[in-house]
Structure 1
């Protein structure tokens, strides 16, 4: 018996089409031979992809975004793992307050965070520094990693840890041989989501980035302010294709269901 009726299949098809339509339009516009943002109807051209090579600022911003995303996601997960262990395995006064504090960047508008970071960095003399930008990104993406690690710990059975301790294993051995393998789906998924959030962040970054530390989304934002040619569409298409390629490689090697859903 089919689990989904005709209405459910039609609804999900329309939903997926609605979500993918903007990506398809952007990729389609990147193939236009025109000098303006328009959908090609009679001919297609790769001229705007070759134009990327003549704009080194986009290439530099791309590699800077990669570096910033990798470092910020790694630091965020290094903080999320011990924080999740403390919140999931221990009960102490003020625990709920710490949970609310750690997750508060999810509910604070990024415009407010950007203004606050700009003011704070100006006061301590860190305006425009890479360390300041890295710290801001870590703070913004930290809740995403924390939530996924907490979810992995919540679904794991604490009895396994107690059994390992009763057999003589030390706390470090229990963490390394028992607990951390159970957390790997949450840690891996948290790192991927954190990296994506860091790479795509623009609202907060535009306040703290400088010409020497400008990410790709901010570079594209400033370029759109000055020009309306399809170069931004071609850059967006390259990022979209690289993202699909990365997800395919991860799915091939490790499995997206294990990372995002936690299946064994």
Structure 2
């Protein structure tokens, strides 16, 4: 295997430092005892983490985001699983169109999609509804589940399924006992990726949320337009920790390298 040279290692190190530096600074600022966003600080304090408990809008928005991400990721899985298996394993009229339709939110800017959904919801009188917010998030996270299900289903060795059928197993038993366990890493990884993207979604959510359904990223954006203090850093740190934990679970379940570089 060819090793990276000193120049390549230095370049990669600079890229990683460039990406991680803002996150590290936010985390450090979250522990400041000062009234303003300052670094370096003259000590460490949990003051601004405790301040979150006195701001119920953040807590309410957090639970809204968690519930929204759980529901939208689950619905997207229910859509992407049968669609992914059909696209990967069958040939039928409209197959390519279905694949392109389900993956199309990946190429549509969030701003454009948010305005389109806002206009659509206004026309049908659905603004302010949590159910329609779930629908909007399902639209944008379904492609992530579909890509991983397609990857898992495409690399599936179907000889095992044929062997089960030759031994008398029906279609449902074959799927439940053979197919599903073999593609479960893709299913789990897709669901986690959908959860992460729904939980962190801001651009589209700004247009379709209402005062009753404000998500955590939208609440943070609204707070930042009014006041910037270390509490914003503490909330951001919690979001970073939750996202990092979900990414670690995703890596354990499916492997980040398979998502980022498309390995099967």
* Counterpart-to-counterpart distance in 2, 1:93 and 1:242: 42
* Counterpart-to-counterpart distance in 1, 2:115 and 2:15: 35
Match for residue 171 of structure 1? Answer: 171
Match for residue 197 of structure 1? Answer: 197
* Counterpart-to-counterpart distance in 2, 1:110 and 1:257: 28
* Counterpart-to-counterpart distance in 1, 2:246 and 2:114: 29
* Counterpart-to-counterpart distance in 2, 1:173 and 1:58: 46
TM-score by length of 2: 0.91
**Cα 1:260/1:78, change in 2 over 3 Å:** farther
Match for residue 105 of structure 2? Answer: 105
- Deviation, 1:145, is 0.3
Match for residue 15 of structure 1? Answer: 15
Deviations 1:45-93 (A, max 9, x none): 3221111111011011111111110111011011110000110110112
Match for residue 91 of structure 1? Answer: 91
* Counterpart-to-counterpart distance in 2, 1:20 and 1:151: 29
Check conservation: 1:114, 1:205, Cα contact below 8 A. Answer: yes
Check conservation: 1:31, 1:48, Cα contact below 8 A. Answer: yes
TM-score by length of 1: 0.91
Q: Please give the residue correspondences for 1:1-264 in structure 2 after superposition, counting only pairs within 5 Å.
A: 3-245=3-245, 250=249, 256=252, 258-260=254-256
Check conservation: 1:185, 1:260, Cα contact below 8 A. Answer: no
Check conservation: 2:77, 2:190, Cα contact below 8 A. Answer: yes
- Deviation, 1:209, is 0.5
Count of aligned positions: 260
Check conservation: 1:118, 1:127, Cα contact below 8 A. Answer: yes
Moved more, 220-229 or 89-98: 89-98
Check conservation: 2:102, 2:143, Cα contact below 8 A. Answer: yes
**Cα 1:209/1:116, change in 2 over 3 Å:** same
Residue 54 of structure 2 aligns to a residue whose secondary structure is: coil
* Counterpart-to-counterpart distance in 2, 1:137 and 1:257: 23
- Deviation, 1:153, is 0.6
Moved more, 111-120 or 36-45: 36-45
- Deviation, 1:94, is 2.0
Structure 1: which 5+ residue stretches go unaligned? none
Structure 2: which 5+ residue stretches go unaligned? none
- Deviation, 1:38, is 2.2
* Counterpart-to-counterpart distance in 1, 2:143 and 2:197: 11
Give RMSD over aligned pairs.
2.1
Residue 45 of structure 1 aligns to a residue whose secondary structure is: coil
Check conservation: 1:80, 1:145, Cα contact below 8 A. Answer: yes
